[in-house]
């Protein structure tokens, strides 16, 4: 068994608009260890920032941390209109295409969370779009009595399975690690760990890497295995993992497809109104 790791990348929060700040994770610096993740922002948003916009060919996920002061108002061209609170996750499986809008439910009340983009295979890029909303109290929690406490937001971990089941397998854990433990790895999956608070040492096949707040690391195992986590202080960390997609990828703004022709077709569908309509509310500036 061989476990491969990237170098640790440091990410810092910075202002990206009047009401939006984000640590935009430099996935390119993690090289081949991030697929199928194609975007990851750790954000703080206190006012309308993004106008209604389309997505197609991938899933866009918003996850609000427990400490978020505010909630997120989600609207989309499928007719969904709801308020997602702290600890909730909104998984927008865009498939063939849809339009959505996300903004703080109360202007000035800061939403703290992550936005995650996960690619979809060619077999699922034309699925009918679907939105999954999982509330905080429905997220399974692993509490082993040692101080380690892990929320299984998506996927399965240590016998706990999230009720949120997208079209393709994925793992999203939000945990606090206080004592040494092993983190299982699936064969030929890529895993990203992102430290928000605390400090720990990650041991992969005898290679020790020290991780601190803002650090991101990519991991891949040739076979099912594990890495050792040894926190020196209570550590709040995200774990994101999924099977790599070995297909061509062409990106154009909010569309991720397998070819330029598919991008052109998605743009044409959007312009023709086939992804639905959504009227803007509030004001704000979008920065990509």
Name the binding residues for Fe cation.
Answer: 53, 55, 100, 102
Do the Cβ atoms of 136 and 86 come closer than 8 Å? yes
CA distances from 56 to 18, 117, 164, 251 (A): 28, 11, 20, 10
Do the Cβ atoms of 183 and 226 come closer than 8 Å? yes
Name the binding residues.
Answer: 53, 55, 100, 102
Place of tokens 């959504």: 278
- Rounded CA-CA distance 230/228 in Å is 6
**What residues contact 183, with CB distance under 8 A and at least 6 apart?**
191, 193, 226, 227, 228, 229, 239
Token pair recorded at residue 248:
């061509």
């Amino acid at each position: 068994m061989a476990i491969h790791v990237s170098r640790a990348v440091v990410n810092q929060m910075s202002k990206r608009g009047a009401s939006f700040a984000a640590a935009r994770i430099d996935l390119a610096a993690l090289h081949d260890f991030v697929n199928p993740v194609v975007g990851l922002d750790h954000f703080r948003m206190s006012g309308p920032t993004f106008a209604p916009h389309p997505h197609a060919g991938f899933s866009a996920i918003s996850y609000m941390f427990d400490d978020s002061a505010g909630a997120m108002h989600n609207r989309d061209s499928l007719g969904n209109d709801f308020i997602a609170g702290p600890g909730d996750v909104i998984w927008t499986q865009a498939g063939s295409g849809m339009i959505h809008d996300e903004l703080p439910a109360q202007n000035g009340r800061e939403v703290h969370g992550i936005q995650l983009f996960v690619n979809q295979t060619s077999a699922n890029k034309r699925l009918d779009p679907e939105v999954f909303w999982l509330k905080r109290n429905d997220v399974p929690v692993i509490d082993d009595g040692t101080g380690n406490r892990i929320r299984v937001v998506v996927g399965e971990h240590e016998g706990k399975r999230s009720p949120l089941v997208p079209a393709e397998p994925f793992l999203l854990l939000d945990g606090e690690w206080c004592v040494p433990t092993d983190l299982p790895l699936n064969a030929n999956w890529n895993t990203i760990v992102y430290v928000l608070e605390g400090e720990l040492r990650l041991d992969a096949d005898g290679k020790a890497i020290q991780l601190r707040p803002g650090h991101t690391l990519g991991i891949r195992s040739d076979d099912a295995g594990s890495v050792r986590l040894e926190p020196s202080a209570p550590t709040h960390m995200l774990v994101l993992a999924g099977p790599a997609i070995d297909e061509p990828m062409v990106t154009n703004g909010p569309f991720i497809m397998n070819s330029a022709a598919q991008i052109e077709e998605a743009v044409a569908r959007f312009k023709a109104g086939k992804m639905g309509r959504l009227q803007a509310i509030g004001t704000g500036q979008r920065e990509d």
